[in-house]
């Protein structure tokens, strides 16, 4: 991909909350995860753990833990992303790595012509989410849920997105 195309792809990615229920093939799911896998991490620790959820019952269990449960249930699949605390070595660097991991996955979702949103609000119930997957909260910490699906263009808002001007947050030295 040319640099300008990559930059435009990054700038055009947005959070999608409305989906058409349609199967996403395993090759596409694998490609999204592959992009996440190449995120940077301190000491190359790769401290991520992902539970891939497409089963309606499990989606409902997760949805019950978030005020955005409707988004979780309407998406074809959800990546439930955990920080593997045993693989990590420095909390700040591990959290930064997880952000890079999730962003890489969101960019891959967008590049594949799909929509997704990172749901962080669910963190208020991270212990309950860990229980769903029988993961020890001492070993795995929930970082969020990435919903993924085919975009329902009829329901998505076509509004201009705003970003702060560069001058508002940079200083030159």
User: What does residue 142 show for φ and ψ, rounded to 5 degrees?
Assistant: -60, 135
Domain boundaries, given as residue ranges, for the chain: 14-154
pLDDT in tens, 70-85: 999 999 999 999 999 9
Is there a contact between 139 and 84 (Cβ–Cβ < 8 Å)? Answer: yes
Question: What are the residues whose beta carbons fall under 8 Å from the beta carbon of 143, sequence distance 6 or more?
Answer: 81, 82, 83, 95, 98, 102, 123
Residue pLDDT, tens place only, 17-70: 999 999 999 999 999 999 999 999 999 999 999 999 999 999 999 999 999 999
Q: Which CATH class is domain 14-154?
A: alpha beta
Tell me the C-alpha distance between 54 and 76, whole Å. 6
Distances (CA, A) of 125 to 65, 78, 94: 6, 16, 20
Task: Tell me the pLDDT tens digit for each residue of 131-155.
Answer: 999 999 999 999 999 999 999 999 9
| Overall residue count recorded for the chain in this entry | 173
Given a contact cutoff of 8 angstroms between Cβ atoms, the answer to whether 156 and 74 are in contact is no
């Amino acid at each position: 991909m040319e640099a300008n195309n990559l930059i435009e792809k990054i700038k055009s990615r947005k959070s999608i909350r409305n989906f058409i229920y349609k199967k996403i093939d395993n090759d596409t799911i694998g490609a999204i995860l592959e992009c996440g896998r190449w995120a940077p991490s301190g000491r190359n620790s790769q401290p991520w753990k992902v539970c891939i959820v497409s089963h309606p019952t499990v989606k409902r269990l997760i949805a019950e833990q978030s005020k955005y449960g409707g988004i979780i249930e309407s998406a074809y699949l959800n990546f439930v992303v955990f920080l593997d605390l045993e693989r990590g070595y420095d909390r700040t660097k591990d959290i930064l790595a997880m952000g890079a991991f999730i962003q890489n996955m969101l960019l891959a979702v967008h590049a594949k012509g799909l929509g997704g949103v990172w749901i962080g609000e669910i963190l208020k119930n991270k212990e309950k989410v860990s229980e769903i997957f029988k993961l020890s909260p001492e070993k795995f910490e929930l970082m969020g849920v990435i919903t993924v699906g085919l975009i329902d263009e009829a329901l998505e808002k076509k509004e201009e997105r705003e970003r702060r001007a560069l001058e508002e947050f940079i200083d030159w030295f």
